[in-house]
Amino acid sequence: MAKLLFSLSLLIPLLFLTIAAVGSHPLDSLSPNEFELTRSLITNSNPYTNITFQYVALADPTKQSVLSWLSNPKTPPPPRRATAIVRFNKATHEILIDLVKKTILSDQVYSGPGYAPFTFEEQFAAAALPLSHPPFAAAVKKRGLKVEKVVCVCFSVGWFGEKRKMEKRIVKVQCFYLDGSLNYYMRPVEGVIVIVDLDEMKIVGFHDRYRVPMPKASGTEYRPSKLKPPFLPPLNGIKMLQPDGPSFKIDGQSISWANWKFHLSLDERAGPIISLASIYDMEKQKRRQVMYRGFISELFVPYMDLNEEWYYRTFFDAGEYALGQCAVSLQPLRDCPENAVFMDTYTAAGDGRPMKMSNTFCIFERHAGDIMWRHTEGNKNVPNTPITETRAEMSLVVRMVATVANYDYILDWEFKQSGSIVVDIGLTGLLAVKASKYTHNDQIKEEVYGPLLAENTIGVHHDHFVTFHLDLDMDGVANSAVKSNLRTVRSRDANSPRLSYWTVIAETAKTEADAMIKLRNQELEFSIVNPNQKTKMGNPVGYRLIPRSMAGPLLSPDDYPQRRGAFTNNDVWVTPYNSSEKWASGLFTDQSHGDDTLATWTLRNRKIENRDIVMWYTMGFHHVPCQEDYPLMPTLRRGFELRPTNFFESNPVLKVTPPHIVNFTNCS
């Protein structure tokens, strides 16, 4: 019986995937045919040259057209268009394609500073070059290593104040040693850097500055077959079953569950994009819009080591490496629970051809044993028989994992019946470590930029700043940002023995400058409200931001990485909606100068009151590595909650109905 149910639960995803092909929505990711059409239109109009497709995506239909279609899905959907950023003949082209008329609408050459994300193909090609470069082979030999056991990875080079525009699309290649352990990130060939020109695909620089011992392979493995006992004993078996199937429906890329409905797509750069999230209000008996779109706009990871081999390591994982491109296939039962349903996706390969990724997303109902609400009350009529009302929390999770070289980012969007949207980011995978001569903490008398984690292994200090684009549109697009300052008030009431209390001083942000907020060390609640829609009590309907992390940048604002990452200077920013302001680090992030970021757009100090606005929220991790992060770090999670605040007239889950009881009397 159990076996049968198990195979049924495997069938369910297939069933849903079949349905998935049928749906059609203006925000659906490009289909394989649309990728292919985009590629052929561009290559046919530029024959005799090799074109690198750095970014291909659905070109956003106007918000107006999507909202009109949504209010009346019988009206024709907005026309499908694609945007492609391609590189050929050492020029970057931004090309707009009409997918219906099958034509190129525009082709603009971008000549400012900065480049689009790397493709996997060019990263692999560049990483292979050192191995056949004689000076590199000599450097490896000098270290007593075997060149056939060396593997390399491409790092973006950043920008450090060079006056003229960088003429070359270059990367720095760092190599590692894959001898005796799969975990080559713990074994850097320190002191050697190879510089590669990606357009020419050839080595343009080579440095071999110093030698330190190669960290040992022993202790770095993480595959069970390579680990020596003892192992922690297994726990008793546990089973997650939904014999009636999941309670959500997937129609194409639209997902509905409980009171929620939203659209899920994959963007090569952002990873998951949640659109048109709306919630059904039981009391008003109508569906209400909450969020037009939410996605990760950038993920900034600066390392804190000033050495020649390390100073430039200030990565923009979305803008340079493309989180959607870095999505990995989720493993059933391990990455996602047994009741999860998986969704496949497509992105464009470096040659523009559609590339399928299986199990990119998993979608599942979470029943983690948490309490949604409860209360126990004494029963006046019958002593010693208290009345208890309690409801189990059930929620819906959409998950993707992006493995950006050494790091694995677990990206969860969780929807609760109470109206909350919880975003949870988990960091796991491998640290970026530096090989060093030190084998004990007591030997270290200089700045080494991080703790000693194992012999000859320094875990370099760094940050992860995840910047979200959150376009909340509650009951309409005209919204305002409200700062509720909690302030101590000294009592002037002689009749009260109390000397103080706190109160709320709410302030509506009028312009962008009013909404540049550092939540750290402030007693402040930030919310987005619709000032035109009030509850019966007269409160504007709203959603509040509840951060579950407080870490802001510590680099000096004039430092070059921080200029490029200046969008992290505030925890919250609010901008008027502008369809071309999607990427907080600018459209062309690699080698950018920081002149097209959220921090520069907002210098215009535009009006943001009672209009279509976008909230940008950065959640940060300062990562001081520790020995438990070695050789592979247990997941570290942080996130935030968007929580209804006077959005509903009263508790929206008071009348929640618990799930059916599943009986397994026939089960042995």
Ligand X SMILES: *[C@@H]1O[C@H](CO)[C@@H](O)[C@H](O)[C@H]1NC(C)=O
Minimum distance of ligand X from residue 531's CB (angstroms)? 22
Among 44, 650, 663, 666, the residue binding ligand X under the rule CB under 6 A is: 663
Distance, C-alpha 179 to centroid of its chain = 33
Residues touching ligand X: how many (CB under 6 A)?
9
CA distance 325 to 120: 8
Shorter beta-carbon distance to Cu ion: residue 483 or 623: 623
Instruction: Report how far apart, in Å, the C-alpha atoms of 358 and of each of 11, 58, 248, 398 are.
Output: 16, 20, 20, 15
* 319 closest CA partner among 515, 422, 200, 465: 465
Number of H helices, E strands in the chain: 7, 32
Give whichever of 109 and 603 is closer to ligand X, judged by the CB atom: 603
Under 8 Å between Cβ of 358 and 267: no
The region of 42-50, 76-84, 360-368, 439-447 touching ligand X under the rule CB under 6 A is 42-50
Closest CA to 212 of 544, 436, 532: 436
Catalytic site residue 409?
Answer: no
Q: Classify 574 as helix, strand or coil.
A: strand
480 three-state secondary structure:
strand
Told to check if 48 binds ligand X by CB under 6 A, we report yes
Asked whether the CA dihedral 217, 223, 229, 230 is positive or negative, the reply is positive
The partner in contact with residue 623, picked from Cu ion, ligand X, none with C-beta cut-offs of 5 to 8 angstroms by kind, is Cu ion
Taking alpha carbons only, the member of 247, 348, 255, 248 closest to residue 23 is 255
Which span sits near ligand X by CB under 6 A: 32-40, 46-54, 71-79, 265-273? 46-54
Give the number of residues in contact with Cu ion, rule: CB under 5 A.
1
Name the active-site residue from 184, 303, 346, 407.
407
| Binding of ligand X by 580 (CB under 6 A) | yes
Binding partner of residue 495 among Cu ion, ligand X, none, CB cut-off 5 to 8 Å per kind = none
**Close Cβ partners of 554 (under 8 Å, ≥ 6 residues apart):** 463, 622
Closest approach of Cβ 603 to ligand X, in Å? 10
Stretch that binds ligand X, among 44-52, 183-191, 308-316, 342-350 (CB under 6 A): 44-52
Q: Give the nearest residue (CB) to Cu ion.
A: 623
- Stretch binding ligand X (CB under 6 A), from 225-233, 503-511, 534-542, 573-581: 573-581
| Segment interacting with ligand X, rule: CB under 6 A, options 43-51, 103-111, 186-194, 496-504 | 43-51
* Residue 382 binding result from Cu ion, ligand X, none, given CB thresholds of 5 to 8 Å by partner type: none
State the alpha helices, DSSP H only, in 46-93.
63-71
Using an 8 Å Cβ cutoff, are 214 and 434 in contact? no
Closest to ligand X by CB, 345 vs 589, is: 589
The answer to whether residue 596 is catalytic is no
- Residue 49's φ and ψ, nearest 5 degrees, are -145, 155
Among 62, 103, 379, 578, binds ligand X (CB under 6 A): 578
**Helix ranges, 411-524 (H):** none
Footprint (CB under 5 A) of Cu ion, residues 607-626: 623
- Residues facing 267 on adjacent strands: 271
Joined together, the tokens standing for residue 612 give 């279509």
Question: For residue 595, what is the DSSP state?
Answer: S
* Spatial distance between the Cα atoms of 338 and 323, rounded to a whole number of angstroms: 25
277 contacts 258 by C-beta, under 8 angstroms = no
Q: Return the one option of Cu ion, ligand X, none that residue 663 interacts with (CB less than 5 to 8 A, by type).
A: ligand X
In whole angstroms, what is the distance from residue 252 CA to residue 345 CA? 12
If one asks whether residue 231 binds ligand X (CB under 6 A), the answer comes out as no
Q: 49, 111, 225, 285: which one contacts ligand X (CB under 6 A)?
A: 49
Is residue 220 classed exposed, middle or buried when 0-12, 13-18 and 19+ CB atoms within 10 A define those classes?
Answer: buried
- Residue 601 binds what, of ligand X, Cu ion, none (CB under 5 to 8 Å, by partner type)? ligand X
Span from 45-53, 169-177, 393-401, 520-528 in contact with ligand X (CB under 6 A) = 45-53
Residue 601 in the binding site for ligand X (CB under 6 A): yes
- Asked if 25 touches Cu ion (CB under 5 A), the answer is no
Q: Does 235 bind ligand X (CB under 6 A)?
A: no
Q: Give whichever of 510 and 637 is closer to ligand X, judged by the CB atom.
A: 510
Q: Exactly one of 267, 317, 412, 590 is catalytic; name it.
A: 317
- Cβ proximity to ligand X: between 420 and 600 the closer is 600
Task: Summarize as ranges the residues that interact with Cu ion (CB under 5 A).
Answer: 623
Residues involved in catalysis: 317, 407
Task: Summarize as ranges the residues that interact with ligand X (CB under 6 A).
Answer: 48-50, 578, 580-581, 601, 661, 663
